[in-house]
Homo-oligomer: A and B are copies of this chain.
Amino acid sequence: MALTADLLRGHTETIILSHLRNGASYGYQINKSISEKCGSAFELKEATLYTAFRRLEADGMIRSWWGDEDTGARRRYYRLTPLGEARLREDLAGWDETKRLIDQLLDLEPVPAENK
Contacts and interface: CB of A to CB of B under 8 A. Distances in A.
Interface of A: 1, 3-11, 13-15, 18, 21, 34, 36-38, 41-42, 92, 94-95, 97-99, 101-102, 104-108, 111, 115
Nearest to A17: B106
B8 A102 contact: yes
B38 A3 contact: no
Q: How many copies does the complex hold?
A: 2
A8 to B, nearest CB: 7
B95 A7 contact: yes
A105 B108 CA distance: 23
28 contacts: A1-B10, A1-B13, A3-B94, A4-B94, A4-B98, A6-B10, A7-B10, A7-B11, A7-B94, A7-B95, A7-B98, A8-B98, A8-B101, A8-B102, A9-B9, A11-B102, A11-B105, A15-B102, A15-B105, A15-B106, A18-B106, A18-B107, A34-B105, A36-B115, A37-B104, A38-B104, A41-B101, A92-B106
